[in-house]
């Protein structure tokens, strides 16, 4: 069952540089939460702390708490590998493994976790591709390289790959910014279906997209250049867009900056 995320007072550092400060929020299960805000305000950085991917960059660390239901993701006994298996990620630029076929790409996460039975793999690959709305387009060429698809198809392949391991939460870091409008629409429709099964967090620089797909929206901002980013406001999408509490939110949404 998809889980909720509770973040309390999270600060994100790279070395001694504080990138994001004092974020507290709740992400409800089976919903879509969008992070919006101007470039460089820390929304992607914060997103990455949710599956401990920020640690891949040397010096990345956090202070504060991130809870998945009642599991502390940053407990000393918690292995980042486990966290990442449970919380999946889709990146800005589609990144299917170039040396693998479509089938192998989707199965990659499964194989890493020890699933070897061919019938099992076949089943999960098919259902994942169907879940990503890609099955009909690729079912006859599963053995072809993953890199041979169009941009939109590649991104859906990456989504299939991510959901094949049945994560609790799916993080999406500007998944459509490298795609054309038609593919973008296809992915947005997909997100609408996926939210029935997963908790989804999506970072987007496109406000209209946030308004279209998300149930809740969080607005991040910088106080000034060189300052850490912070969460300004979070709430139901309709309220944020029609009736924001903070002035900065209102300014951003009406296009006065960003």
Give residues in contact with other proteins (CB under 8 A). Answer: 1-3, 51, 53, 56, 58, 68-69, 71, 77-79, 81-86, 88-89, 91, 93, 95-100, 108-110, 112-115, 117, 119-120, 122-124, 126-128, 130-131, 158, 161-168, 193-194, 196-198
Of residues 197 and 250, the one with the C-beta less far from other proteins: 197
3-state SS assignment for residue 75: coil
Q: In the chain, what is the straight-line distance between the N-terminal and C-terminal CA atoms, in Å?
A: 37
DSSP 3: -
Of residues 77 and 225, the one with the C-beta less far from other proteins: 77
Of residues 41 and 194, the one with the C-beta less far from other proteins: 194
CB of 183 to other proteins, least distance (A): 18
Of residues 178 and 185, the one with the C-beta less far from other proteins: 178
DSSP 175: T
CB of 109 to other proteins, least distance (A): 4
- CA pair distance 218, 211, nearest whole angstrom: 11
Strand ranges in the chain using DSSP code E only, listed in sequence order = 5-14, 17-27, 32-36, 60-68, 71-72, 87-90, 169-173, 199-203, 216-222, 229-236
Of residues 143 and 196, the one with the C-beta less far from other proteins: 196
- CA pair distance 43, 74, nearest whole angstrom: 19
CB of 22 to other proteins, least distance (A): 26
3-state SS assignment for residue 170: strand
CB of 235 to other proteins, least distance (A): 25
CA 231 to chain centre: 17
CB of 229 to other proteins, least distance (A): 21
Please state the φ and ψ torsions of residue 158, each to the nearest 5 degrees.
-65, -35
- CA pair distance 201, 213, nearest whole angstrom: 11
CB of 11 to other proteins, least distance (A): 23
């Amino acid at each position: 069952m998809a889980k909720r995320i509770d973040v309390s007072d999270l600060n994100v550092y790279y070395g001694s540089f504080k990138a994001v400060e004092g974020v507290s929020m709740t992400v409800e299960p089976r919903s879509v939460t969008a992070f919006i805000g101007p470039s460089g305000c820390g929304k992607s950085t914060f997103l990455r702390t949710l599956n401990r991917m920020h640690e891949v960059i040397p010096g990345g660390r956090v202070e504060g708490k991130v809870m998945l239901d009642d599991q502390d993701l940053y407990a000393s006994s918690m292995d980042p590998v486990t966290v990442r298996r449970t919380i999946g990620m889709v990146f800005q630029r589609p990144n299917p493994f170039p040396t693998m076929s479509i089938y192998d790409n989707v199965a990659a996460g499964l194989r890493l976790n020890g699933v070897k039975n061919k019938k099992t793999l076949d089943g999960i690959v098919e259902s994942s591709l169907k879940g990503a709305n890609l099955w009909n387009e690729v079912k006859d060429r599963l053995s072809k390289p993953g890199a041979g698809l169009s941009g939109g198809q590649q991104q859906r392949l990456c989504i299939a790959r991510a959901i094949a391991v049945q994560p609790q939460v799916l993080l999406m870091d500007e998944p459509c910014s490298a795609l054309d409008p038609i593919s973008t629409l296809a992915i947005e429709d997909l997100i609408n279906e996926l939210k029935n099964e997963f908790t989804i967090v999506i970072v987007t620089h496109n406000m209209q997209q946030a308004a279209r797909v998300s149930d809740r929206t969080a607005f991040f901002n910088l106080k000034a250049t060189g300052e850490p980013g912070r969460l300004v406001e979070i709430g139901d999408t309709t309220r944020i867009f029609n009736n924001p509490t903070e002035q900065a939110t209102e300014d951003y949404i009406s296009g006065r900056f960003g």
